[in-house]
Amino acid sequence: MINYIEKNLFQGVCNSNEFKGWLLSRRWFGDKSSLSKLNRYIKMVQILARTVESNALNQLFK
């Protein structure tokens, strides 16, 4: 279930119009600062996924 939540959250973010627009607006393959920003964004998404996962597990085992 944990992997399912993470996969769905990650797919939801990657498939969002905001994320697609952000990727299209960046030249992140050649721009090191944009690549760094992408790395930070991915880390934030991972933290969010862990938080959602933790909250879901807490609700299941109450």
Tens digits of pLDDT across the chain (62 residues):
556 667 788 888 877 888 877 777 766 555 666 677 888 888 888 888 888 888 877 777 76
Structure tokens that stand for 31 in this block: 């721009």
Report residue 59 CA to chain centroid gap. Answer: 22
Structure tokens that stand for 50 in this block: 């862990």
CA distance 56 to 36: 30
CA distance 6 to 2: 6
- Exposed / middle / buried, residue 39 (Cβ in 10 Å: 0-12, 13-18, 19+): exposed
Domain with 37 in it: 2-60
pLDDT of residue 28: 55
When divided into structural domains, the chain yields a total of 1
